[in-house]
Amino acid sequence: MRLIDKKQGRFILICDICGEEAPEKFYDFHDAVDYKKQKENGWKSQKIKGVWCDICPECQEGGENETRGKSKN
């Protein structure tokens, strides 16, 4: 599970189901966490098979869940 990765000095929120990146990039890890917690951004954390995963709005709307398997990336 990727959760929040760091690329080129910035933190990126990545969906653990489809690999989609959030449109925002962050200089601080906690800013990425705060972005995810804001309901208007549509992201959420969900425990799947005992592991915390970050899930993008599209995967939530599409009914994607733990049965889909691993992410694309």
Torsion sign over Cα 5, 35, 22, 18:
positive
* Antiparallel, parallel or unpaired: β 44-48 and 51-55: antiparallel
What is the reported pLDDT for 31?
Answer: 93
Task: Indicate the DSSP class of residue 23.
Answer: E
Cα 32 from chain centroid? 10
What is the reported pLDDT for 66?
Answer: 47
- For the chain, list residues with pLDDT below 70: 1-3, 63-73
What is the reported pLDDT for 15?
Answer: 94
What is the reported pLDDT for 39?
Answer: 87
What is the reported pLDDT for 55?
Answer: 93
